[in-house]
Amino acid sequence: MSFVISIRNLSKTYSMGEQLVRALQSVSLDIGHGEFVSVIGPSGSGKSTLMHILGCLDRPSNGTYLLDGQDVSRLSDDEISRVRNRKIGFVFQGFNLLSRTSALENVELPLLYDSETRLTAAERRRAAMEALHTVGLQGRERHHPNQLSGGQQQRVAIARALMTRPSILLADEPTGNLDSQTSVDVMELFQRLNRERNLTIVLITHEHDVAAYGSRIIVFKDGRITSDEINDKRKATVTGSV
């Protein structure tokens, strides 16, 4: 079985003033195609750091990271930018949408920097519309982030993450800023994407409720994996569609 993500002995060390913080201590992990992995752990356990490294937003201090069999730690900045664009969809806790920019334009953004497919403006627009439909935001295309609710903003972010049909969707506490009902909606959306598109998802959370949506649960503590199990009591989607 070929893995989407394969990391070996990954470490990350920060210096906070005079103190060295070992955020990740020699972590090894394989994630296969179509898996929905929940990473759970208390804050400061290093799970966010792992996520940033997986998303190529940060670089590891040591170890190797193979994404689709490609060693990302050896790539140049431009190549990593392309990897971020083509292979990774990232959903943040704080949404990270461009303010004063419509939902549609936010969603289009990754296509703008996609130097391979070279879509025309009209094609980009159509693709963005489609993505917004997928996440259930038809009719909100022209709204700016400050005119949307938290749940809606997170859906825009998810639509944006899906635009370049990435190999993997990374979600960093995606429900952290949402109320419980909206959280359920968003989690069900993830689950549907995982099921219908066979999209590989890695999700970070500190809530067991949220982690329970995953097919595999990894527990993190003090920069190490303490448990890695298949979740057989997976939360079922209540409805067939969102």
Partner 1 sequence: MRRLERSLMQAVAALKKNKLQTALTMIGMTIGVATVLTMIALGRGAQGAISDQIRSAGMNLIVVTAGNYQAPRERLPDDAIEPSAWHPSREEGHLIKTLLHAEDDPMAVHDHPLASQRLGDSEAGLGAAATLTLSDAQEIRKIPAVQYVSPGVHMNAHIEGSSVRWFTRLHGDDVAQPSIRRAWVFPHGRYFNEREAEASEQVVVLGSVVSEKLFGSADPVGKTVKLWHQPFKVVGVIASGSWILQPEAGDDQFDAIYVPVTTVQRLLNLSKLNDITITTKSTGDVTRVVHAIADLLRRRHRINPKMPDDFTVSSQARKALASGGLRPEVAAAVVGNVSGLEKVTLDQLGKTLDRASQTMTALLISIAAVSLLVGGIGIMNVMMLSVTERTREIGILRAVGATARDVLSQFLLEAMGLSIVGGLLGIACGVVTSLLVTQLLHWSIDLSPIAVLVSFAISAAVGIFFGYYPARQAAKALPIESLRFES
Binding site for partner 1 (CB under 8 A): 52, 55-59, 77-78, 81-82, 84-86, 90, 92, 96-98, 100-101, 105, 109-110, 112-115, 118, 160, 164
Minimum distance of partner 1 from residue 77's CB (angstroms): 6
- What 3-state class would DSSP assign to 173? coil
Minimum distance of partner 1 from residue 86's CB (angstroms): 7
CB-wise, 2 or 115, nearer to partner 1?
A: 115
Q: Which residue has the tokens 């909100």?
A: 140
Minimum distance of partner 1 from residue 102's CB (angstroms): 10
Minimum distance of partner 1 from residue 241's CB (angstroms): 27
CB-wise, 99 or 181, nearer to partner 1?
A: 99
Q: Which residue has the tokens 């990270």?
A: 96
- Yes or no: say if 208 and 39 are a contact pair by the CB < 8 Å rule: no
CB proximity list for 106: less than 8 A, separation 6 or greater: 97, 98, 145, 156, 157, 160
Minimum distance of partner 1 from residue 96's CB (angstroms): 5
CB-wise, 157 or 211, nearer to partner 1?
A: 157
Number of Cβ within a 10 Å radius of residue 112: 13
CB-wise, 95 or 220, nearer to partner 1?
A: 95
CB-wise, 152 or 164, nearer to partner 1?
A: 164
Q: Please state, in angstroms and rounded to a whole number, the distance separating the CA atoms of residues 68 and 54.
A: 12
CB-wise, 119 or 212, nearer to partner 1?
A: 119
Minimum distance of partner 1 from residue 170's CB (angstroms): 10
Give how far Cα 126 sits from Cα of 93, 129, 149, 163, 187, Å. Answer: 27, 5, 24, 11, 26
What type of residue is 141? E
Q: Please state, in angstroms and rounded to a whole number, the distance separating the CA atoms of residues 73 and 146.
A: 37
